Amino acid sequence: MKAELLFDAQAALGEGPAWDAKSQTLYWVDILEKRIYAGSRVVAQLERFIGCLAPRRGGGLIAALSDGAGSSFFVDLQPDTARQSVLAAVHEPAANRFNDGKCDPAGRFLAGTMAMNESDPTGALYSFDGKRVVKLFGGATISNGLTWSPDYKTFYYIDTPTRKVQAFDYDLATGQVANPRAAIQIPASLGWADGMTSDAEGNLWIAMWGGAQVTRWNPQTGRLLEQIPVPALQTSSCAFGGKDMNELYVTSARKGMSASDLKKYPLSGGLFKVETKVAGLPAFEFAQTVPQAS
């Protein structure tokens, strides 16, 4: 498998790829440049940091925004006009901003936060069902990749500095997590685990910050299965898309790179695509309100 450059975006912090099946569009963000892309097109230039987004079932997007001065929100966002309406405010320390997030299979939007100094463990993971914001847990330093097993009963989560992927029991009816345990230990030689997605076989695909690669893991055994080189040092996140959900879209960043690293990896900040032999889980949409458990 090979990573093919789709767009030489030169993004400062390309992140949050999300496939919109309705329009067959890959949305992604540049957190630091406060920008939303659809493929190679900038569809919105915002005034706040955008941590992540997801398509909404009824059209448009849900996004997690922070102004870097104490205000964080979930908003409804229309990508072509950048028109925003606040859905919920999230109470976070002033030094925090939203980071990675995505929808669960029931249509909730989960998004994590981090301290902008990348060292205080003041981050948290939130779940929003359209009515209520629930804090699933706190104590995260850099809340990052999240995904589910194919039966949706297990939730996988990365707090990057821990060098671990944690597994939780996931209750799809209530959106609650329980029973955290370490599923994968990430060796330092691979870089830092950042964004994550999962495939139909239940294996995890993890973008490696500082590692110039995407890695594929079996979370049952903790074993590394495959390494796909990406010509961008700060490989930041990945998401499946395409008609058959067998295209892995990979974002990257230029943040935190030395002049010599930038010379060695000039495509850093680009958007890449890998054709895979396995399909990913479906891309989940924000459902506005989650059906109540019976």
Which residues participate in catalysis according to the annotation? 194
Stretch that binds Ca ion, among 80-88, 102-110, 189-197, 257-265 (CB under 5 A): 189-197
d(CA 139, CA 117): 15
- For residues 65 and 106, which CB has a smaller minimum distance to Ca ion in the complex? 65
**Cβ atoms of residues 213 and 229 within 8 Å:** yes
Under rule CB under 5 A, residue 100 binds Ca ion = yes
**Cβ atoms of residues 250 and 272 within 8 Å:** yes
Minimal distance, residue 101 CB to Ca ion, in Å: 10
Minimal distance, residue 243 CB to Ca ion, in Å: 27
**Cβ atoms of residues 238 and 197 within 8 Å:** yes
Q: What is the per-residue DSSP string for 56-98?
A: BTTSSEEEEEE-SSS-EEEEEEETTTTEEEEEEEE---TTEEE
In the range 124-163, which residues lie near Ca ion by CB under 5 A? 144
Stretch that binds Ca ion, among 51-59, 170-178, 186-194, 249-257 (CB under 5 A): 186-194
- For residues 99 and 203, which CB has a smaller minimum distance to Ca ion in the complex? 99
Q: Which residue has the tokens 């405010």?
A: 89
The edge-to-edge listing of strands for the beta sheet with 109-115 is 96-103, 109-115, 123-128, 133-140
Minimal distance, residue 82 CB to Ca ion, in Å: 23
Minimal distance, residue 51 CB to Ca ion, in Å: 9
Q: Which helix (H) or strand (E) holds 263?
A: helix 259-264
CB 21: neighbour CB atoms within 10 A? 15
In the range 195-224, which residues lie near Ca ion by CB under 5 A? 195
Minimal distance, residue 143 CB to Ca ion, in Å: 9
Stretch that binds Ca ion, among 60-68, 95-103, 129-137, 284-292 (CB under 5 A): 95-103
One character per residue 230-269, x = contact with Ca ion (rule: CB under 5 A): ----------------------------------------
- For residues 144 and 213, which CB has a smaller minimum distance to Ca ion in the complex? 144
Stretch that binds Ca ion, among 93-101, 146-154, 162-170, 221-229 (CB under 5 A): 93-101
The residue type at 153: K
The residue type at 227: Q
**Cβ atoms of residues 236 and 253 within 8 Å:** yes
- For residues 124 and 290, which CB has a smaller minimum distance to Ca ion in the complex? 124
Residue 260's φ and ψ, nearest 5 degrees, are -75, -35
- For residues 33 and 194, which CB has a smaller minimum distance to Ca ion in the complex? 194
Counting residues that bind Ca ion (by CB under 5 A) gives 4
d(CA 85, CA 294): 31
- For residues 112 and 280, which CB has a smaller minimum distance to Ca ion in the complex? 112
Three-state SS for 127-184 is: EECCCCEEEEEEEECEEEEEEECCCCCEEEEEEHHHCEEEEEEEECCCCEEEEEEEEE
User: Could you list the residues that contact Ca ion (CB under 5 A)?
Assistant: 100, 144, 194-195
